[in-house]
């Protein structure tokens, strides 16, 4: 059994994510991030608002374990990422975090279904959580409105932007990771699609039991979230 399972499952009240006194600056540059505190409970949805250049993408890279902060702590499911070596952080990201970006989420030459399955490739844990990964990928994609065999088999490069974002969401959700991080996932979409995408994402996060960390520069979207946080100029 994974240490994270022991920590995460019996103690449902333990936060999925707990950030303390986080600071980061580009080498030789001004301080980019100065975040005293950020917590995310299981199943919670949090909206982080930040203009471009406010360091939000960097913050997400730190939470995802790709970048190490200058100081502070980032606890994911009780484990401090800042104390772990890169390989362990990569493994934790594979096991517990689903990521959605603004665009270019997919491997262009892989089919929609294969792109979703990619999330299971680097995580035995997420593979273990869905006994039939192909069936689960199809189920998630069907929920996202990608359900014809032709669409499932089509290379990602030939899907519309809206379809690509929904495939990315399905990939983030397969294997029910504890945390889904979405970085401007709707900003490439037209307004009507935007709301539908958001509704789908909320529903599927709830179904998978994943907490959602949603980052956007667009304050209009914030209304849909119970809790909000502003990054940047204090």
Partner 1 sequence: MSLLRLTWKGLWSRRAAVLLTLTAMAVSVALLVGVERLREGVRAGFATTVSGTDLIVGPRSGALQLALSALFRIGAAEHAMSWASFEALKRDPAVAWAIPLAFGDSHRDYPVVATNGDYFAHLRYGRGQELVFLAGGAFHEALDAVLGYEVAERLGYRLGDELELTHGIGESGHHHDEAQFTVIGILAPTGTPVDRSVHIPLAGMARIHAGWIGGLPIPGVRVIGTAEWPDQVNAVLLGLHQRTQVFAVQRRLQRQPGEPLSAVLPAVALDQLWGLVAPVERVLRLLALLVFLASALGMAAALLAGMESRRRELAVLRAVGAAPRHLLALVLLEGGLITLAGIAAGVALAGLLVFAAGGWVGGRFGIDLAAVGPGAGLSWLPLLFAVGLGAALVPALAAYRRSLADGLLVRE
Q: Which residues of this protein are in contact with partner 1, per CB under 8 A? A: 57, 60-61, 64, 66-67, 86-87, 90-91, 93-95, 99, 101, 104-110, 114, 117-123, 155, 171
Closest to partner 1 by CB, 45 or 96? 96
Closest to partner 1 by CB, 111 or 186? 111
Q: How far is the CB of 210 from partner 1 (least distance, A)?
A: 15
Closest to partner 1 by CB, 161 or 199? 161
**Residue 228: which of 219, 2, 206 has the closest Cα?**
219
- Please give the helix or strand (H or E) that residue 164 lies within, else none: helix 161-173
Q: How far is the CB of 108 from partner 1 (least distance, A)?
A: 7
Q: How far is the CB of 97 from partner 1 (least distance, A)?
A: 8
**What is d(CA 227, CA 212) in angstroms, rounded to the nearest whole number?**
11
Closest to partner 1 by CB, 36 or 108? 108
Q: Which residues of 43-66 are buried (b: 16+ CB within 10 A; e: fewer)?
A: ebbbbbbbeeebbbbbbbbbbbbe
**What is d(CA 222, CA 72) in angstroms, rounded to the nearest whole number?**
27
Please give, one letter per residue, the 3-state secondary structure of 69-124: CCEEEEEECCEEHHHCCHHHHHHHHHHHEEEECCCCCCCCCCEHHHHHHHHHHCCH
Closest to partner 1 by CB, 84 or 224? 84
Q: How far is the CB of 192 from partner 1 (least distance, A)?
A: 27
Q: How far is the CB of 53 from partner 1 (least distance, A)?
A: 12
């Amino acid at each position: 059994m994974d240490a994270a399972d022991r920590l995460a499952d019996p103690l449902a009240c333990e936060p999925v994510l707990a950030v303390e006194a986080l600071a980061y600056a580009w080498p030789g540059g001004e301080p980019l991030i100065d975040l005293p505190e950020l917590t995310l409970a299981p199943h919670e949805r949090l909206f982080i608002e930040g203009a471009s250049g406010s360091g939000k993408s960097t913050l997400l890279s730190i939470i995802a374990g790709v970048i190490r902060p200058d100081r502070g702590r980032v606890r994911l499911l009780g484990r401090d990422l800042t104390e772990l070596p890169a390989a362990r952080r990569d493994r934790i990201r594979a096991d517990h975090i689903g990521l959605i970006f603004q665009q270019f989420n997919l491997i262009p030459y892989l089919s929609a279904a294969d792109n979703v399955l990619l999330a299971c490739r680097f995580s035995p844990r997420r593979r273990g959580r869905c006994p039939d990964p192909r069936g689960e990928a199809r189920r998630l994609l069907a929920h996202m409105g990608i359900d014809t065999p032709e669409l499932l088999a089509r290379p990602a490069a030939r899907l519309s932007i809206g379809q690509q974002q929904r495939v990315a969401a399905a990939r983030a959700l397969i294997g029910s990771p504890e945390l889904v991080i979405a970085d401007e996932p709707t900003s490439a979409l037209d307004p009507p699609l935007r709301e539908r995408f958001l509704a789908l994402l909320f529903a599927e996060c709830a179904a998978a039991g994943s907490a959602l960390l949603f980052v956007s520069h667009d304050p209009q979207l914030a209304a849909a979230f119970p809790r909000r946080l502003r990054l940047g100029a204090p």
